[in-house]
Structure 1
Amino acid sequence: MIVWLNGTFGAGKTTTAKELTALLPDARILDSEYVGMMLRHVLGSLPVDDFQDWPPWRGLVVETAAQVHAYVGGTLVVPQTVLVKAYWQELRTGLEKAGLPVHLVLLHADDDTLRRRIDGDTVEAGARQWRLDHLAPYAAALPWLRPAADTVVDTAGAEPRAVAERIAAAVRA
């Protein structure tokens, strides 16, 4: 199974992924950002705003998930923002065709909470403006994101462990 944690930057995807893997048996994080980083070395001369715009990223994420799952089994938790509906549909369809059921979780927080978290992030402080610039596209994507999600969790004011417990319960149901 794939548990895909979607939501914008500051929603808590990375923190929740770590908590969630501790709650689900044989779960591990598959960070699809690394696929994008690898492609930057190969496709860097083809400018895009986001590596998700490269079709090979989407195909390689699906293939990587399928290969890793075939090798280790269990649950793969993917903490990755996807704000383009067509990209999400391509990913979900590809994963399901590979025999991997997908549980899409939308981690949501209000704009003030997101801005506070982004401003307070000391780990990826260099990405602050890029993250802030994606709040408007996130808001624009909510009309398709909410209905597409199997589970929606408001992370504002919620402890990461409680968020992960809610997701674990939804995945087990």
Structure 2
Amino acid sequence: MIVWLNGTHGAGKTTTSEFVQQLLPDARVLDAEKVGEVLMDIKPGLPATDNFQHWKPWRPLVVETARRVLEYTGGTLVMPMTVLVESYWREISGGLTEHGIPIHHFVLHADQTTLRERIQNDKDLGPSTFRFAYLEPYAEAAHTWLHKEAEVIDTTHITADQAAQQIADSVLDRRERGTSGILDAW
């Protein structure tokens, strides 16, 4: 199965994914950004874009990478990755579902003030215009489709390990109830 952690920059996806991995049996973290990095390393480069997700190969490569890793290892893949374009999410989630891979989709959410403070004060990356640029697209996606497609975990006033515990509890509860987590729309 896949536990997909969505949400914009500063919501806590990467940190939370590490805690989720520790809480779920046979879990591994697969960061789909690494697929984008492979595409960015192609020389000469692919057509210019401000986001590797716009490159058509990225989405099916994410599906195929996740499928092959799960085929090889079994267990659970925890995938922290922002996907704010609904058609891109549909392509990825549809591809995974076609392969019979259950998806537990979570959105880590925080209010705009908190997100701005986290991005501004990030000790590793520092303030980032790239990350700030995604706050409005996230708000739009959250309002129009994203929060309807996933279980929302508000990280505004909780730590990453507390968010991870909520996610793990939800996933394990679904397993006990025997629900797959595959998106109902598919």
> Structure 1: which 5+ residue stretches go unaligned?
none
State TM-score, norm by structure 2.
0.89
Give 1:99 deviation, angstroms. Answer: 1.7
Give 1:172 deviation, angstroms. Answer: 1.4
Amino acid in structure 2 at the alignment position of 1:72: T
Mapped to 2, the partners of 1:44 and 1:125 lie a distance apart of 27
Mapped to 2, the partners of 1:72 and 1:100 lie a distance apart of 13
State TM-score, norm by structure 1.
0.96
2:119 paired residue number: 118
Q: Secondary structure at the match of 2:156?
A: coil
2:62 paired residue number: 61
Give 1:48 deviation, angstroms. Answer: 1.2
1:89 paired residue number: 90
Q: CA RMSD in A?
A: 1.1
2:50 paired residue number: 49
Q: How does 1:88-167 map to 2 (within 5 A)?
A: 88-125=89-126, 128-142=128-142, 143-149=144-150, 151-167=151-167
2:34 paired residue number: 34
> Structure 2: which 5+ residue stretches go unaligned?
174-186
Amino acid in structure 1 at the alignment position of 2:171: V
Give 1:86 deviation, angstroms. Answer: 0.1
Amino acid in structure 2 at the alignment position of 1:94: G
Mapped to 2, the partners of 1:59 and 1:120 lie a distance apart of 34
Kindly indicate whether residue 13 of structure 2 is the aligned counterpart of residue 13 of structure 1: yes
Cα deviation digits, residues 31-72 of structure 1 (max 9, x gap): 111100000122724111210001100010000000000000
Give 1:82 deviation, angstroms. Answer: 0.3
Mapped to 1, the partners of 2:19 and 2:159 lie a distance apart of 10
Structure 1 runs, 4 residues or longer, greater than 2 Å off:
none
Give 1:135 deviation, angstroms. Answer: 0.3
2:7–2:138 Cα contact (<8 Å) kept: yes
The number of equivalent residue pairs is 171
Q: Secondary structure at the match of 2:57?
A: helix
- Identity of matched residues, %: 51
Mapped to 2, the partners of 1:123 and 1:95 lie a distance apart of 32
Amino acid in structure 1 at the alignment position of 2:89: W
